[in-house]
Structure 1
């Protein structure tokens, strides 16, 4: 062992050591306080999240990652729940669910909410929020056709002439019933993507799609050489609504309260035009021949709701 004489450890050394210990103590206190604040903030956030109920919604039913058809309904749902005064977290359950499957999942309690047409046969089993979230534009239908067949539609002026051509529709879609009721020739299929293949291969002559959907769908199927007919528009009164489980009155009331709040503030209209303004302008409705169809499947209550919030056709 090496012996160091006491005089080697001078007064200056002791002062320096005390200063170093002093600063270590200060830094220790600061670091402890910072860590404690993070833990406290994290505990508050976790406590807040634990109180928020999770609302599951369905993703797109197509295979395209850039499918934007549902973006408006998802953002509107989030804004409505935020405006309801309740705490909810909104999450996607999964993709590729047909409309029929979505309502099955709502009944089972796996899915919290979906959006679709009203249906007098289905609606009594669910709780519909009485606010037409599309303002009736799902009933404004342009025709998706093969690019080399546009001339076949340019001379049509009435429903009876269109009835000679065959259109495609989803098997469980409410539109299918409406078109068949108006004596149009319809080829239903259970496959959404199959509709576009049927059109390309000539198994159907046209595919009537809402102006809220058709531009996104055309963009996603450019490789099929399809086009939007420039002459016609089919119109029938209908609308999209949010649906929840029949027993979930709390969620239904929160969504309705939030929608009414957004509408009163003008935020609903702002979001609506943000998403759909370009499509409405691009559709050039005032220069189209409008073929009006009857919709006997629309209840009086839904018809009144639609006319309260709808976007009227151009004169």
Structure 2
């Protein structure tokens, strides 16, 4: 059902653009935005930035590629700029390269830097007693193979078991081979809805949160400098107007309220893989607020 809603949304938006700007319909200058539709929040943010710059740059066409590509394949395709010319991702050393343009406006408002654990229902009492980082490191973590977080957790002294499917990841938790699955605070509802719906025995851990810098940006093919320029101008515009906050509230505020991050004990981890090329503008959009650090 979610897939059909997304297809309808994209078709409707494309129809509106074509009808509202017929003089550009067959222009070679018409901008095609080629991307992989994943989370609607990032898509809606991109659309808002593009819509607000139609006056300066003209209309555009959304051209989503619905194929499921691994991250490294996505990076290679963005570098080429043929199938995909923009994607949203974390600013890590193996992503931020000279072949890809980083649009220097953080887009996750810090939520991608917080990790909340999925645990076994009934295990909350164990986590209630964790009051030191050393005690936290006794928790065996589970992650998907290839997730960038695996190296970060291991670098910080955690034991991590990874696997290549979500089904086996959840099974490992329910069978007791791992103790928790840390998920980005911005994605935890998606995880439960898409991969754990109808599975009993799971719960969201209520007392702890891990934090390490993991800001998300839009990355654009170096062959599309105008697209990068347009996204930057558009994001700056919707940031100044408050529309960025509106998009965030529409997609993420309910989850943020439910997780109550400010009421949790936060453990700060080091991220040695954060790219030194990370743009420093608008740090208030990705730096951690002062929370309850033990």
1:284-303 CA distance string (max 9 Å, x none): 12221111111222245527
SS for the counterpart of 2:182 is strand
Cα separation, 2, equivalents of 1:291 and 1:43? 51
1:21-44 CA distance string (max 9 Å, x none): xxxxxxxxxxxxxxxxxxxxx999
State whether residues 100 and 172 of structure 1, in contact with CA within 8 Å, keep that contact through their aligned partners in structure 2: no
Distance 1:155 1:95, change over 3 A: farther
1:230-281 CA distance string (max 9 Å, x none): 1111111221111121232121111111111111111111211222111111
Match of 1:121 among 70, 79, 94: 94
Cα separation, 1, equivalents of 2:62 and 2:277? 29
Cα separation, 2, equivalents of 1:89 and 1:209? 33
State whether residues 213 and 287 of structure 2, in contact with CA within 8 Å, keep that contact through their aligned partners in structure 1: no
Alignment of 1:182-193 (within 5 A): 182-192=156-166
Alignment correspondent of 2:33:
55
Alignment correspondent of 1:286:
262
State whether residues 136 and 306 of structure 1, in contact with CA within 8 Å, keep that contact through their aligned partners in structure 2: no
Alignment of 1:205-216 (within 5 A): 205-216=179-190
State whether residues 59 and 96 of structure 1, in contact with CA within 8 Å, keep that contact through their aligned partners in structure 2: no
- When the two chains are superposed, the root-mean-square deviation of aligned CA atoms in Å is 2.4
State whether residues 166 and 185 of structure 1, in contact with CA within 8 Å, keep that contact through their aligned partners in structure 2: yes
What is the TM-score of this pair, normalised by structure 2? 0.81
Alignment correspondent of 2:199:
224
Cα separation, 2, equivalents of 1:233 and 1:186? 17
State whether residues 93 and 111 of structure 1, in contact with CA within 8 Å, keep that contact through their aligned partners in structure 2: yes
Cα separation, 2, equivalents of 1:303 and 1:46? 37
- Asked if residue 101 in structure 1 is aligned to residue 73 in structure 2, the reply is yes
Cα separation, 2, equivalents of 1:273 and 1:46? 33
SS for the counterpart of 1:205 is coil
Distance 1:190 1:275, change over 3 A: same
Distance 1:158 1:136, change over 3 A: same
Question: Structure 2, unaligned stretches of length 5 or more?
Answer: 1-17
Cα separation, 1, equivalents of 2:61 and 2:261? 38
Alignment correspondent of 1:66:
none
Question: Structure 1, unaligned stretches of length 5 or more?
Answer: 1-41, 61-69
Alignment correspondent of 1:73:
42
State whether residues 35 and 65 of structure 2, in contact with CA within 8 Å, keep that contact through their aligned partners in structure 1: yes
Alignment correspondent of 1:132:
106
SS for the counterpart of 2:123 is helix
1:82-109 CA distance string (max 9 Å, x none): 2233221113211433322322322342
- Offset, 1:191: 3.4
What is the TM-score of this pair, normalised by structure 1? 0.76
Larger helix fraction of residues: 1
State whether residues 59 and 95 of structure 1, in contact with CA within 8 Å, keep that contact through their aligned partners in structure 2: no
State whether residues 75 and 95 of structure 2, in contact with CA within 8 Å, keep that contact through their aligned partners in structure 1: no
Alignment correspondent of 2:14:
none
Match of 2:141 among 167, 176, 179: 167
Q: Report how many residues are paired.
A: 265
Distance 1:81 1:203, change over 3 A: same
